[in-house]
Amino acid sequence: MSDQVIRVYVPATMPMLTALRASGQLGAVEGHAVTPALREWYAEGDEEELEYVAFTRAAQGALRLLRHDPDAPRRRVVVSADVPAAVVHREDDELGSSAVRVRAAGGRRRGPPTRDRAPAAAGGAPPPAEVVEEALAGDPDAQFTVDGAEDHELEWYDVSELETLT
């Protein structure tokens, strides 16, 4: 059995972070990681750049979760976890894909959970969580709004600080 671990970036919401703190387990989740398809697509990228792509996609996934949970505080959350390679499965083989599924395994949360406040767009425009699907479908106005949220870097917290975040 391999001891290899893979860093997975899991999109989440504050209520999901609370559940993680209570259980101490990731469970079965969808996330993003540096996959062979991502490496092939971004062949010039070094490991840090590839990790940043996976992380950014997870942050966008957190916006999608907020769209479907109107009661959750409007904060993007990304949980970074090192999990055994044996429980990480690619979601698709499309060139550039970073999507993975993690089977319940109680991954070791080595990387810090991260979060930020998803800002509302100025001028009465919809907040990023409300237009993220349209942005993914190619709407340039929606993409501009989502890009505005992505311009705000997430704050980093160590796993020992999880108590203070929830």
pLDDT digits (tens, 9 = 90+) for 105-152: 554 444 445 555 444 333 344 578 888 889 889 999 988 888 887 777
Q: In 3-state terms, the chain is what percent helix, strand and coil (to 5)?
A: 40, 20, 35
Q: Residue holding tokens 């996976």?
A: 54
DSSP state of 40: H
Instruction: Give the Cα separation of 67 and 50 in Å (integer).
Output: 26
- Separation of CA 16 from chain center: 12
pTM metric for this prediction: 0.80
Strand partners, 22: none
Pure H helices in 68-150:
128-136, 140-150
Q: Which two tokens stand for residue 151?
A: 């311009």
